[in-house]
Homo-oligomer: A and B are copies of this chain.
């Protein structure tokens, strides 16, 4: 699922957009590439401090899209590449993943667990 190229992007700093949708209105929240924790089962864990609207949307419609990229990683043709990920999200407030993330990011109040179903290089 996660290619070497994708992991290379995650290892460069940049803005991740977390896109959710309910009532035909999209919302975009952000985090940093360096905050993404990739697990072995095609999941991405993201520390959430606020993300109120994202949580509200996810309750109504768990589908999420993430975008991220880096101008410092080679793309298909030029320097700079990006990825569009699709999946479903859940907000965690307990459990092993929550504990592990809380140790790493003590500012979090919840953890967004994204189960990724598609990870496409867009550029």
Contacts and interface: CB of A to CB of B under 8 A. Distances in A.
Contact of A65 (B14, B26, B63): B26
Given A21-B21, A32-B80, A80-B32, A67 B26 contact: no
B24 A61 contact: yes
Interface residues of A, number: 30
Nearest to A25: B21
A88 interface: no
Nearest first, the 9 closest Cβ-Cβ pairs linking A and B are A17-B17, A26-B26, A21-B26, A15-B69, A24-B24, A28-B67, A13-B71, A19-B28, A30-B82
Interface of A: 13-15, 17, 19-28, 30, 32, 34, 61, 63, 65, 67-71, 80, 82, 84, 122-123
